[in-house]
Structure 1
């Protein structure tokens, strides 16, 4: 079984984490660094992916400054999302396979089937980890991410009433696979973030998309350490890696 290095980095500014991803992904592509999973939290930030639209940012500049929110346009898939303290962010930097010329553009990329399989494996990892925490979750057809159904939210201790009407997203996923077949960006799981910050965007470009967190669901939510433990256990199984954990090592 191959080894994946796991680095718990604590609270890291988004730009620094993005720079680190790019540095490590390049080293992984050259065979100079093993597969890597970065686990961290970010200060308040909105990130726009390749399909992002400026009108999906609802807060004006003055409000962004008041709430201390940064904004970044990045090269992952998808539209806009939020990251902040209390949200577990994971960036798997994994060699996913051989790249091939894209039939349309001729540019090198991994086959679409491998890209979709990677997204589904990220979803599977989070779904299984949530099950270990006592939260039934799943997929929504046509959408990427992990969702909690209204029947689960109906037992929710702190859920606002609107979460009882439709599925609520508990984890967002947005990735890039570079021209050498190495994944970048990843997932964000709402553990106990300040959910008010979702009001500043049209999340994923979808009107009225509900967001939910473990803190909403439980009277006494699991702490971040428990969430990390369950997620790493499942990640190792789904992606067939032996994990080497490095606590508090900042590579930036």
Structure 2
């Protein structure tokens, strides 16, 4: 059977979570661990992906330090984005066999799981043809940026990085005002709380996305979580 391990990590420093991803990727590659979905919040952080457009960061080093926002240049695809409290971050670490591999289909599945979740709240999520992520009209509610790590012990890839879904309305102002999100300056961002007018718990959103993730990706009932450390 095709099992998925899920784990809620609460709030975690970005660097610690990145190191944990690298460790688990190796375990999944060696078939020592089932595919894994990490769900968490981050402390305030900007990450710049492989597109490398530092001009899309509007704050200098002193302002970043004053606001307590970390900055990482990382190995996922895409441009700059914000991670912080009030946002559900998901890191799917999944083995993808090379036979019939469709990398674009993987991205569409991530989007689909989020779109299904939003529908629970009466939110009509969708896609923009030219951009990755999930949108509500012209407002982005979830960013997606991934990496496909070539497996060393078998034929295929193990995914890393993933999605960031804006849950709390505060996240819209706390960090996005300091960047041009994903290099897209003509559109803004939104959140589940803003669109519903209700207070929403991030951990609850993490719990509710798991059934949609397992449905879209074809997993059996998730394995019970265990404590992870980097």
1:133 aligned onto 2:121: yes
Name the residue aligned to 1:163.
none
TM-score, normalised with respect to structure 2: 0.92
- Superposed, 1:1-252 pairs within 5 Å as 1-98=1-98, 111=101, 114-149=102-137, 167-180=138-151, 181-192=157-168, 193-196=170-173, 197-241=175-219, 242-246=221-225, 249-252=227-230
**RMSD value, Cα:** 1.5
Say if 1:51 and 1:77, in contact at 8 Å, map to a contact too.
yes
Q: Per-residue CA shift, 1:156-198, capped at 9, x if unaligned?
A: xxxxxxxxxxx10000000000112000000000001432210
Name the residue aligned to 1:159.
none
- 1:216 deviates by 1.1
Name the residue aligned to 1:104.
none
Gaps of at least 5 residues in structure 1 are: 100-109, 150-166
Higher Cα Rg: structure 1 or 2? 1
- 1:29 deviates by 0.8
Say if 1:45 and 1:70, in contact at 8 Å, map to a contact too.
yes
Q: Per-residue CA shift, 1:54-106, capped at 9, x if unaligned?
A: 1111011121111100000000000000000010000000001127xxxxxxx
Higher strand share: 2
Cα distance between partner residues in 2 of 1:179 and 1:220: 42
- Extract structure 1 runs of 4+ deviating beyond 6 A: none
TM-score, normalised with respect to structure 1: 0.84
Secondary structure at 1:243's aligned position in 2? coil
Cα distance between partner residues in 2 of 1:9 and 1:227: 13
Secondary structure at 1:117's aligned position in 2? helix
Say if 1:133 and 1:227, in contact at 8 Å, map to a contact too.
no
Question: When the two structures are aligned, how many residues end up with a matched partner?
Answer: 222
- 1:220 deviates by 1.4
Say if 1:132 and 1:230, in contact at 8 Å, map to a contact too.
no
Is the alpha carbon distance of 1:230 and 1:174 closer, same or farther for their aligned partners in structure 2, counting shifts above 3 Å? same
- 1:224 deviates by 2.2
Secondary structure at 1:235's aligned position in 2? helix
